Amino acid sequence: MVRSKLLVSFLLITTVAIGFGNVAWITLKAELAQLLIEQAWAKTLQTGAQVKPWQWADTWPVGRMVHPNSNTDLFILEGAQGNALAFGPGRHVNTGELGSESSVIGGHKDTHFAFLAEANVVVILSVNISFPVYIVVFLNILSHFLYKFLFKL
């Protein structure tokens, strides 16, 4: 009886430890990715070339977005597909160049764009390409379904 309780306790503790280890590993990878993206952005500004944050990345930083009221500082990645959006907001490739009036930046509202929940209808953001551009954004959050319907993706 005592042996089975010890075994169950050991298995429970091991399961919890593995769970916490996985969370720590994911958090560590996310922090490392942001450092690598920041370094790639710095090299992009220096060289003018597209610099991938890691060799097998299928995205690269194309800009930096700052919202001073919420202390939000985000790197904008090329492409708004899931693998890019896991690391930050992305520029939709079927829209205008970043900083143009037809540019669209997408992101997850519960992670990178969570600061917009507290924003007014009109938001002023600083977007840096190779020079600072100030953009006035009329906040319009589209659902994924509505976006697919409007843009036929």
Phi and psi (nearest 5°) for 105? -115, 125
Report the pLDDT value the prediction gives residue 124, as an integer from 0 to 100.
Answer: 55
Give the model confidence (pLDDT) of 9-19 as tens digits: 888 888 888 88
Give the model confidence (pLDDT) of 73-114 as tens digits: 889 999 988 888 889 889 888 888 877 777 788 888 788 888
Phi and psi (nearest 5°) for 98? -55, 130
Average pLDDT, the chain: 78
Q: Are 143 and 149 in contact (CB under 8 A)?
A: no
pLDDT category at 120 given cuts 50, 70, 90 is low
CA 53 to chain centre: 13
**Please, what are the domains in the chain?**
54-151 (2.40.260.10)
Residue 132 scores a pLDDT above 70: no
Q: How long, in residues, is the chain?
A: 153
Residue 30 scores a pLDDT above 60: yes
Helix (H, G, I), strand (E, B) or coil at 142: coil
- Residue 68: C-alpha distances to residues 98, 108, 127 (Å): 19, 19, 11
